[in-house]
Amino acid sequence: MSNKPLLLTTVLALATPAMAQGFLTTSTNALRHGDILCRVEIPYESEGERGEASVWTLPDIPDDSPDHLQAIRSNGDTIVIYEQGRMLHYLMCGDTLYNKGEQSRRSYRILSQERPELVYPFQFGDSISGCYEGDCQYEGIRYAVSGSGYTVADGMGILTDGEDTLRHVLRLHLHDYFEDDYGNETAERWSRDCYRWYCMGYRYPVMETVITYRHDGAEQEQTSCATYLYLPVMQMELDEDVPNEELLARLEADGSNGQGGQDGGGSLASVDASLSPDGQSLTISYSLNSTSDITFYACDIMGNVLGTAHYEDREAGVWQECLTLSRRPIGNALMLSIRCGDEIQCMKVYS
């Protein structure tokens, strides 16, 4: 493997003002049934700084770096990621993604009270937290786990190796502190920090760093650390991704570098939407201040696109559209994404 298969030959140095707001949405970032991701493990790379205008290091890839596949499967509101002899379990309830645990041939960690991991939409400064507990087994030894954790979007900026740069990257920090209770007053205490970097136009994190610590009273010992890269050029087994593909195409066409925020006075003045009682159609009412292209994406809580509509040079005025959906959304809930010129808005719609 080359040291630099990098990365985004199509979108380096391109972004829109929408990414400056740092949104993760179900339409552009949800775990998607049928996806097969290639993940490369490299030596640990420091998580770096937090805050706005951060600069993070995009590391080289040693020639002997191992890689493996992650296969994503979903059924209703349950999601499973298969990787390296283990299964990672997730649950989607409404607009919130919960970590349910993991299992392999000789061990499991299944939570009866799940860990809230992410809520859509999610932007810079947002956070979600909660406590969790469950049952575990390792090599025939049973024990209980309990802990607390939070996820915070703590940074925005760029990933760079000095030559190539990924701009408008949003970083999530997932922190957990938990206890493994073996009974008879025997327990082990741990903490874990996971950092994930999301780049505009890709629904998976382009980089992830994980660090685990063992705690003994006031002492803390690092037990493992690793960094992983999900290079877009290596993701060959992905299902169709209409929202991100169209976004990347527009970025190539307009060449916007996206510095700064939106300049106000956008074309989209107001928008409202309602889901029909049978869940088969979506009515969208909106008004435009000026002539503009406008696109609608209706996605379920799993990120599957159920309907789209696009109109070029729509004139100023009040409009109403009826969008027919491919099927009834899970949980009778939708995420509607609207792209109007350089603006992006997201809203939840319930029946």
pLDDT profile of the chain (351 residues), mean per 10: 39 36 78 92 92 86 91 93 94 94 95 96 93 95 97 91 78 97 92 94 93 93 95 80 76 46 61 91 92 87 81 90 90 83 78 74
Residues 95 and 163 in one domain: yes
* Per-residue pLDDT, 158: 84
Last residue of a domain, one of 185, 212, 241: 241
* Per-residue pLDDT, 236: 79
Residues 118 and 209 in one domain: yes
Residues 37 and 114 in one domain: yes
Number of structural domains (the chain) is: 2
**What is the domain-level CATH number for residue 281?**
2.60.40.2550
Residues 184 and 105 in one domain: yes
- The answer for residues whose C-beta is within 8 angstroms of residue 124's C-beta and 6 or more apart is 21, 22, 52, 153, 155, 156, 170
Domain-embedded: residue 12: no
* Per-residue pLDDT, 148: 98
Domain-embedded: residue 6: no
Residues 200 and 95 in one domain: yes
Domain-embedded: residue 3: no
Domain-embedded: residue 97: yes
* Per-residue pLDDT, 14: 34
* Per-residue pLDDT, 167: 74
Domain-embedded: residue 7: no
Note down the domain range covering 288.
262-350
Domain-embedded: residue 269: yes
Residues 83 and 124 in one domain: yes
Residues 85 and 225 in one domain: yes
Domain-embedded: residue 296: yes
Domain-embedded: residue 314: yes
Residues 198 and 287 in one domain: no
Residues 185 and 73 in one domain: yes
* Per-residue pLDDT, 42: 93
Residues 211 and 271 in one domain: no
Residues 28 and 156 in one domain: yes
Residues 119 and 268 in one domain: no
Last residue of a domain, one of 188, 209, 241: 241
Last residue of a domain, one of 241, 272, 303: 241
